[in-house]
Amino acid sequence: MANPGFRIYTKIDRPDRALVESFRGLPVANIGDTINRSFIFDARIRRVSKGSLLGTAFTVKTRAGDNLMFHKALQMAQPGDVVVVDAHGDCTTAITGELMMQDAARKGLAGIVIDGAIRDLASLREMELPIYAAGVTPAGPYKDGPGEINVPVSIGSVVVRPGDILVGDEDGIVVVRPGDAAETLEKARKKHAAEEATVKAIAAGTRDMAWIDKELKAKGCEFIDDVCP
């Protein structure tokens, strides 16, 4: 019998690991710029630990304040997966802490992203496992369900599907659809190379900034050679 809202899909399509690894080291900002500044989690979702995030999404949808399905997801997820938890952005109750995150690290997971709250912050800050969350509170969770695993979820205003590629650094997280990954990777590499060249030009004092006045004039900005009356 169907039970929408309380079910687990046991299989997902993961992209080729070599393709995922190709994004390692690329700044999230550069990747986001190449996909029209879309698919970027909003600023509520912040990194609370060490390490940069790179892996494939293993999604979880929980009831606010409940982590039963999150526990099951950690049991099911594979090395290289990023467990992504839609906890409805609720920060009144933490749905994970040090013990669960130690389990996740031991399994070789690539990271944890929670649109909700965590606790045991002092311990989590020292972990190499990349952990992102929307907030912190000492209040503990319930374990009643319902929830779903490996369905599309909403995290930080972005829809994440099982198998999506997630790249994260100190700025935040960007989602890359596997079907767009090869082209996005090429564009992001070019963007990153161009920015590195700009940094060198700034250091050398040779950066051309003439584009600013050109853009202003093209947009109709009025230049008045006088003081404001």
pLDDT tens digits along 173-216: 999 999 999 999 999 999 999 999 999 999 999 999 999 999 99
Domain membership of residue 178 (yes or no) is yes
Is the pLDDT assigned to residue 1 strictly greater than 80? no
> The CATH number of the domain where 95 resides is what?
3.50.30.40
Helix/strand/coil for 153: strand
- Distance from the first to the final alpha carbon of the chain: 76
Q: What is the pTM of this model?
A: 0.94
Helix/strand/coil for 225: coil
Domain membership of residue 193 (yes or no) is no
Known binding-site residues equal: 97-100, 119-120
Domain extent at residue 76: 7-187
Domain membership of residue 41 (yes or no) is yes
Domain membership of residue 42 (yes or no) is yes
How many domains are there within the chain? 1
Known binding-site residues for Mg(2+) equal: 120
Tokens of residue 99, six digits: 């013990």
Which ranges in the chain belong to alpha helices (H)?
Answer: 17-21, 28-34, 68-76, 98-106, 121-125, 181-204, 211-218
pLDDT tens digits along 51-70: 999 999 999 999 999 999 99
Domain membership of residue 227 (yes or no) is no
Domain membership of residue 76 (yes or no) is yes
Domain membership of residue 202 (yes or no) is no
Helix/strand/coil for 10: coil
Domain membership of residue 29 (yes or no) is yes
Known binding-site residues for substrate equal: 97-100, 119
Tokens of residue 106, six digits: 């031991």
For residue 180, the 8-state DSSP code is: G
Q: How far is CA 137 from the centre of its chain?
A: 21
